[in-house]
Amino acid sequence: MNLEDLYRLLRSGHVQAQGIVDTLREPLLVIDQAGCVVTGNRAFFEKFRVDRDDTIGHSLFELGTGQWDIPELRRLLSEVVPKSVAVIGYEVTDEFAPLGRRTMLVSARRLIHPDNTSTNMLVTFEDVTDQIRKEAEKDILLAETRHRMKNLLAVVRALATQTEVEGRSAEEYRDAFLGRFEAVLRAEDLSLANTAETDLGTLVGQALEQAGAERCRVEPGPPVALKTEQVLPISMILHELVINASKYGALSTPGGIVHLTWSVASEAGRNELCLDWREENGPPVIAPERAGFGTRLIEFSAERSLGGAAELTFKPAGLRVRVTAPLD
Q: Which of 105-109, 121-125, 142-146, 172-176 has the lowest mean pLDDT?
A: 142-146
Q: Do the bridges between strand 100-110 and strand 121-127 make them parallel or antiparallel, or are there none, so unpaired? A: antiparallel
- pTM over 0.75, yes/no: no
Q: For 111-170, how does the pLDDT look when each residue is reduced to its tens digit (9 = 90+)?
A: 877 666 678 889 999 999 999 888 888 887 777 667 667 777 777 787 777 777 777 788
Q: Do the bridges between strand 318-326 and strand 309-315 make them parallel or antiparallel, or are there none, so unpaired? A: antiparallel
Residues 6+ apart with CB under 8 A from 276: 259, 260, 261, 262, 263, 320, 321, 322
Give the per-residue pLDDT at 124: 92
* Region(s) of the chain under CATH 3.30.565.10: 198-326
Annotate 273-286 with three-state secondary structure. EEEEEEEECCCCCC
Q: For 236-290, how does the pLDDT look when each residue is reduced to its tens digit (9 = 90+)?
A: 899 889 888 888 888 888 888 889 999 998 877 788 999 999 999 888 888 887 7
Query: What single letter denotes the amino acid at residue 308?
Result: G
* Region(s) of the chain under CATH 3.30.450.20: 3-127
315 confidence band (pLDDT: 50, 70, 90): confident
**Residues 3-127, CATH architecture:** 2-Layer Sandwich (3.30)
Give the per-residue pLDDT at 116: 64
User: To which CATH superfamily is domain 198-326 assigned?
Assistant: Histidine kinase-like ATPase, C-terminal domain (3.30.565.10)
Compute how many other C-beta atoms are within 10 angstroms of the C-beta atom of residue 132.
14
Q: For 48-104, how does the pLDDT look when each residue is reduced to its tens digit (9 = 90+)?
A: 999 989 899 999 999 988 889 999 999 999 888 888 788 999 999 988 888 889 999
**Model confidence at 11: pLDDT above 80:** no
